[in-house]
């Protein structure tokens, strides 16, 4: 059977449909942006406040991260079973967030070697890279703008001590994950009438 060649208008419509399908999936998966955003925001804020108020055990708030990882894995498996159609954009986003995860783990594992201050800088760069590319692929400007705030926070963190970097991480994650994640979810719900 001979393949039909698409005219330019059909090509644009197909691309638009692929982007909207991927955007809807990420919006549904925007749950993970929101979840991780709030987990990191809470952990960094609790750690920061405990240091400023001289309270013990604030760093234990970071114990939320392994729980988030387990939950994310379970959620991802359930979502992949529901997935019916996979677009190129879905594939690109999968590779992007997979690379982000590998780089994140490497940064955290080698944190003692490079120091906390340098690691926080790299974490904010990673947040920015992942959300910048996702925002570009999905044509969702709030992710792009949030990523720019994350890049600015990374640069600002170079001039701060480790404690104050915790507050900058909170700002970076609020702007690059939490706010765009909620906006994406709202867009998804309005498009699907959920």
Residue 153: is it exposed, middle or buried by C-beta count within 10 angstroms (0-12/13-18/19+)?
Answer: buried
Predicted TM-score of the model (pTM): 0.80
Position 8 in a domain = no
* Whether the predicted pLDDT of 98 surpasses 60: yes
* Phi and psi torsions of 142, nearest 5°: -55, -35
Question: Among residues 181, 115, 116, 127, which one has the least CA distance to residue 154?
Answer: 127
The counts of H helices and E strands in the chain are 8, 0
Position 86 in a domain = yes
Position 9 in a domain = no
Range of 185's domain? 14-192
- The residue-averaged pLDDT of 96-106 equals 90
* Phi and psi torsions of 84, nearest 5°: -105, -40
Position 159 in a domain = yes
The pLDDT value given to residue 128: 96
105-118: per-residue pLDDT in tens?
899 888 888 888 88
109-167: per-residue pLDDT in tens?
888 888 888 889 999 999 999 999 999 988 889 999 999 999 999 999 999 999 999 99
Position 88 in a domain = yes
Report the greatest alpha carbon distance in the chain: 73
Position 2 in a domain = no
CA angle 138/92/111 to nearest 5° reads 100
Angle formed by the axes of helices 141-157 and 162-173, nearest 10°: 170
Position 6 in a domain = no
The pLDDT value given to residue 147: 97
Q: What does the mean pLDDT of the chain come to?
A: 84
- The residue-averaged pLDDT of 42-64 equals 92
Q: Which DSSP string corresponds to 97-144?
A: HHHHHHHHHHHHHTHHHH-HHHHHHHHHHHHHHHHHHHHHHHT-HHHH
What's the pLDDT band for 27 if we cut at 50, 70, 90?
very low
Residues in CB range of 188: below 8 A, 6 or more apart: 23, 24, 27, 28, 30, 194
Of the candidate ranges 20-29, 43-52, 127-136, 161-170, the one whose mean pLDDT is the lowest: 20-29
Position 130 in a domain = yes
Domains identified in the chain, total number: 1
- The residue-averaged pLDDT of 7-15 equals 59
């Amino acid at each position: 059977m001979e393949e039909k060649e698409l005219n330019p208008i059909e090509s644009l419509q197909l691309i638009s449909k692929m982007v909207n399908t991927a955007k809807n999936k990420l919006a549904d998966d925007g749950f993970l942006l929101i979840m991780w955003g709030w987990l990191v925001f809470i952990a960094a804020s609790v750690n920061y406040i405990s240091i400023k108020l001289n309270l013990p055990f604030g760093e234990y708030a970071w114990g939320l991260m392994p729980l988030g990882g387990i939950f994310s894995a379970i959620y991802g498996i359930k979502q992949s079973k529901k997935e019916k159609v996979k677009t190129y954009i879905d594939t690109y986003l999968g590779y992007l967030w997979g690379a982000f995860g590998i780089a994140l783990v490497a940064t955290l594992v080698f944190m003692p070697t490079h120091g906390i201050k340098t690691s926080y800088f790299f974490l904010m760069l990673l947040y920015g890279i992942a959300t910048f590319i996702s925002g570009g692929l999905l044509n969702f400007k709030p992710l792009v703008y949030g990523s720019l705030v994350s890049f600015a926070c990374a640069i600002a963190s170079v001039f701060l001590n480790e404690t104050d970097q915790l507050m900058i991480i909170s700002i970076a994650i609020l702007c690059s994950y939490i706010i765009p994640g909620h906006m994406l979810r709202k867009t998804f719900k309005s498009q699907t009438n959920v």
